[in-house]
Amino acid sequence: MSIFLDRDTRVLIQGMTGNEGSFWAQHMIELGTQVIAGVTPGKEGELIHDRPIYHSVRRAVRNHDVDAAILFVPPRFTRDAVLEAIDSGIRKIVTIADGIPLHEMVEIRASAKAAGAMVVGGNTSGVISPGEAMMGMFPYWIERVYAPGKIGIMTRSGSLTNEVTAMVVRAGFGVSTLVGVGGDPVPGTRFAEMLPLYEADKKTEALVIIGELGGSMEEEVAVAMQSGICTKPVVAFLGGRTAPKGKRMGHAGAIVSGGKGTVEGKIKALEAAGGRVAGRPSEVGELLRALLEEREA
């Protein structure tokens, strides 16, 4: 079992005829994803990787059962593409683009919540359930890093994800589903909003959070743990702990405001809720093992 997607999820790719869309569509298919069709305005009638292209999402869903959509479209077109997918009845959407205008991302998030949809991204590598399916931009050597297993992973950081996941696998664990929520200030879905899905997934035994300086998503996880929304063991690794105090960081989501968002504050909140925070990626596997052994004792 996995969350968000599995080998039975029927995926539509918006922007499939572009260079990135075509390239990653091929990789998704090779990893077992059920890519059923693509959408590019003006390209209807073409075939990409033997999948039909349609002029619009609405025309695609008339001809195919669609469970999820992934967008390989420029940031200035992302809002319209997401709303088109939502209006066509698609309730699971991954948008890759980095640099979506902030006010448009706010609108995307509000529209998704009103429709009961879940948008992952932007500024994300996507979602992967190893051994089953992938929606996103995970590298071709991924099979050496991402093994199937029982650890759910949520991440804000593209650069840290492969390193931390490799340490999880090296410690003898595997991954149920990894979700890259994205590193922008307003993600489509926040960590705490993913927690009920992991909590309900019988295959997921524990969670790893890859967070970083800025924002409040990690503190929201701590609140969810204390309120019983998340009862599974949680281990976190937080980037930015060595950042100079008072310095502005370049990452769009790495904003500390009102005294909140510091790595120290996140560590304190997570540990107070019963989680463990690794000082180095190599410690993540050890902390997972210790927490799981405590649960079994």
Domain identity same for 5 and 80: yes
CB-based burial, 52-72: b 16+ in 10 Å, e otherwise: bbbeebeebbeeeebbbbbbb
Let me know whether 59 and 191 are in one domain: no
- Judged by average pLDDT, the poorest of 33-37, 109-113, 159-163, 198-202 is 159-163
Q: How confident is residue 106, by pLDDT bands cut at 50, 70 and 90?
A: very high
More confident residue, 244 or 261: 261
pLDDT tens figures, 5-33: 999 999 999 999 999 999 999 999 999 99
- 117 and 154 housed in the same domain: no
Residues 103 and 165 in one domain: no
Domains in the chain, number = 2
**pLDDT reported for residue 23:** 97
Query: Which CATH number is 191's domain given?
Result: 3.40.50.261
Residue among 49, 64, 103, 251 flagged as catalytic: 251
Q: Is 130 part of any domain?
A: no
Do both 283 and 225 map to the same domain? yes
DSSP string for the chain: --SS--TT-EEEEETTTSHHHHHHHHHHHHTT-EEEEEE-TT-TT-EETTEEEESSHHHHHHHS---EEEE---HHHHHHHHHHHHHTT--EEEE--S---HHHHHHHHHHHHHHT-EEEESS--EEEETTTEEEE---GGGGGT--EEEEEEEES-HHHHHHHHHHHHHTT--EEEEEE--SSSS-SS-HHHHHHHHHH-TT--EEEEEEESSSSHHHHHHHHHHTTS--S-EEEEEETTTSPTTPPPSSTT---BTTB--HHHHHHHHHHTT-EEESSGGGHHHHHHHHHHHHH-
Let me know if residue 20 belongs to a domain: yes
Res. 206: pLDDT tops 70? yes
Q: What number is the average pLDDT over the span 87-108?
A: 97
Given a cut of 80, is residue 163 above it in pLDDT?
A: yes
> Which carries the bigger pLDDT value, residue 157 or residue 234?
234
243 falls in which pLDDT band (50, 70, 90)? low
Q: Any residues with CB less than 8 A from the CB of 83 and at least 6 apart, and which?
A: 108, 111
Per the domain annotation, does 128 fall within a domain? no
Which of 73, 90, 122 terminates a domain? The answer is 122
Q: How far apart are CA 3 and CA 152, in angstroms?
A: 9
Residue 248 has pLDDT above 50, yes or no: no
35 and 161 part of one domain: no
- 159, 292: one domain: yes
Q: Look up the CATH number of the domain holding residue 61.
A: 3.40.50.720
Domain assignment of residue 83, given as a range:
1-122
According to the model, what pLDDT value does residue 255 have?
53
What is the Cα–Cα distance from 129 to 147, expressed in whole angstroms? 9
Same structural domain, 108 and 174: no
Do 116 and 156 sit in the same domain of this protein?
no
Whether 268 maps to a domain, the answer reads yes
Same domain, 296 and 150: yes
In a domain, 134, yes or no: no
Q: At what angle do helices 284-296 and 158-170 cross, to 10 degrees?
A: 50
Q: Is residue 108 part of a domain?
A: yes
- Report the pLDDT averaged over residues 256-264: 69
Residue 204 included in any domain: yes
Shared domain for 149 and 253, answered yes or no, is: yes
Lowest mean pLDDT among 45-54, 64-73, 79-88, 212-221: 212-221
Say whether both 266 and 220 belong to one domain: yes
Strand order in the sheet with 234-239: 133-136, 126-129, 175-180, 148-155, 206-212, 234-239, 276-278
Q: What is the mean pLDDT of residues 28-48?
A: 96
This prediction has a pTM of 0.92
Is 251 marked active-site? yes
Q: What pLDDT was estimated at residue 141? A: 73
State the average pLDDT for the chain: 92
Q: How confident is residue 246, by pLDDT bands cut at 50, 70 and 90?
A: low
